[in-house]
Amino acid sequence: MNREIICLNIDLLNYKESIARIMEWGENKWPGYVCFANVHMTIEAYMDKKFASQVNNASLVLSDGMPIVKALNFFYRIQQDRIAGMDIMPDLLRLAEINDLKVFFFGTTDELLSRIKVRTEKEFPNLKVVGLFSPPFDRPLNDSHYADMINSSGANLVFVALGCPKQEKWMAENSEKIKAILLGVGGAFPIYAQTAKRAPLFMRKLSMEWFFRLMQEPRRLFFRYLKTNSLFLFLLMKIKLKHIFNKQNFPNS
């Protein structure tokens, strides 16, 4: 079951159900991909119909951002779990170690991948990390060599961090070629590598994690947040007013 928020169909699984589904697919090396939806992804999808289709065709579209969680409550009165890539990645690594699954890290930088390797070796000494690869900028991402490399590694779970919307587009275009479940966790890499700090829990609950990130990287994020957050709120109000004027109600869960 899913519900639409602006243009994305958010799957209504709770946190434990999402992990169980991903682990099942990983164990069976099922070719698919999972998107973790937040405000940025929603606005990118609103501006690009092809991208919206690529996200909506994912095996799962999960509620990463608290604004998505609150929007589900606002429109449908659904108490949805937040399923953030930053939370789910270490949980999946722990379960992969327990269940003898192989993991592959694809994307970001060599420095971050080295830090991830060091931390996984310390926290999950029996985890089978079969690949850490940062695609070079001078090579096209649609190079079939990448799919072949991942397949030959025997990976069950592939954590992808290329940034939104690049990582979602890459997963959509390559998932059928790769015998593993692809997970577009993006910002989870620097958090896990401990090169970036995560917002305190109280800020996350107040949907203010974006503000914490803005304080860390104001030059890079100010105009992006100004555009995406404002447009997200505007579109939510527009949809709500449209249904009020048309005397329509959103379906309950």
Sequential pLDDT tens for the chain (253 residues): 999 999 999 999 999 999 999 999 999 999 999 999 999 999 999 999 999 999 999 999 999 989 999 999 999 999 999 999 999 999 999 999 999 999 999 999 999 999 999 999 999 999 999 999 999 987 778 778 999 999 999 999 999 999 999 999 999 999 999 999 999 998 899 999 999 887 788 887 777 777 777 777 777 766 777 788 899 999 999 988 887 777 655 555 4
Helix (H, G, I), strand (E, B) or coil at 234: helix
Residues 99-125 as b/e (b if ≥16 CB within 10 A, e otherwise) read: eebbbbbbbbeeebbebbeeebeeebe
Number of separate domains in the chain:
1
For the chain, give the longest Cα–Cα distance.
59
Question: Is residue 76 a part of any domain in this protein?
Answer: yes
How far is Cα 190 from Cα 194, in angstroms, rounded to an integer?
6
Asked if the structure places residue 240 within a domain, the reply is: no
Domain range for 140 is: 2-205
From the CB of residue 30, how many other CB atoms can be counted at a distance below 10 Å? Answer: 15
Structure tokens at 200: 């305190």
SS3 helix, strand, coil % of the chain, rounded to 5?
55, 15, 30
Has residue 183 been placed in a domain? yes
Looking at the DSSP assignment, which residues form a beta bridge with residue 182? Answer: 33, 158
Spatial separation of the C-alpha atoms in residues 125 and 106, rounded to whole Å: 20
The verdict on residue 69 lying in a domain is yes
pTM passes above 0.85: yes
